[in-house]
């Protein structure tokens, strides 16, 4: 029994212990602070990277971004907010940005310094995002969904709300794929008695039903 548990632990660690990807190996200064953080600290988590702004028609999305973070943060999901003045709708003083998102929307997900997110002078992290995805922000609240192994798997334009079925489905699908990969490893090593099936596509009704179960831990159909 001890040998079985040790084998399962080793396989699980092999599935979840990721080396930092080139994409996330990026230094970002924390909002309104002299302290910097390497994004490798978020390796092994599902990330939603959003270029935010305080005076934009999409600023209301702060509320659903915060709600999404609160709902899924215990499931290794993190929203990364990155202010930008590229579209002239962000405060010039970072202290004003920090106060606005905190007092108006109660934001407590990680927020970073104001940077350029497009063009030749874009922050190195955003240059990597563009290189990997082929997409750069055309407006505020562009979104990149990054897998636990540090790869861009989906991008969403400003008009796609954080709580939209389109975005939620992508998140849930990503988590189902990760769970399936772990199950296959267990099966390959002879630690599962019966194979299980994995559907590569679900109807919207199935996705919404799955979403009602504990997030990202729903049983496979």
Active site amino acids:
56
Q: Extract the tokens encoding 117.
A: 């997110």
> What is the phi/psi pair of residue 152, to 5°?
-75, 125
Specify the 3-state DSSP secondary structure of 77. Answer: strand
Strands (E), the chain: 27-29, 36-38, 46-52, 77-83, 143-146, 152-156
> What is the phi/psi pair of residue 187, to 5°?
-65, -45
Nearest to 34 by CA among 81, 91, 95, 85: 95
Cα–Cα dist 120/55, whole Å: 24
Specify the 3-state DSSP secondary structure of 204. Answer: helix
Write the CB contacts of 161 (distance below 8 Å, at least 6 apart in sequence). 61, 64, 167
């Amino acid at each position: 029994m001890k040998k079985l548990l040790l084998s399962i632990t080793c396989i699980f660690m092999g599935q979840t212990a990721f080396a930092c990807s080139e994409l996330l190996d990026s230094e970002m200064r924390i909002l309104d602070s002299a302290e910097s953080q390497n994004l490798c600290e978020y390796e092994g988590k599902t990330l939603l990277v959003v270029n935010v702004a305080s005076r934009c028609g999409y600023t209301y999305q702060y509320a659903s971004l915060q709600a999404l973070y609160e709902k899924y943060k215990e499931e290794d999901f993190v929203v990364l907010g990155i202010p930008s003045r590229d579209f002239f709708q962000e405060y010039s003083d970072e202290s004003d940005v920090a106060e606005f998102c905190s007092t108006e929307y109660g934001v407590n997900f990680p927020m970073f310094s104001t940077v350029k997110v497009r063009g030749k002078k874009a922050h190195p992290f955003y240059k990597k995002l563009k290189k990997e995805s082929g997409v750069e922000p055309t407006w505020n609240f562009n979104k990149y969904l990054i897998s636990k192994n540090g790869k861009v798997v989906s991008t969403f334009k400003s008009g796609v709300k954080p709580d939209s079925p389109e975005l939620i489905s992508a998140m849930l699908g990503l988590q189902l794929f990760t769970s399936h990969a772990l199950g296959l490893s267990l099966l390959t090593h002879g630690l599962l008695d019966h194979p299980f099936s994995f559907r590569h596509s679900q109807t919207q009704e199935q996705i919404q039903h799955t979403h009602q179960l504990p997030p990202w831990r729903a049983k496979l159909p």
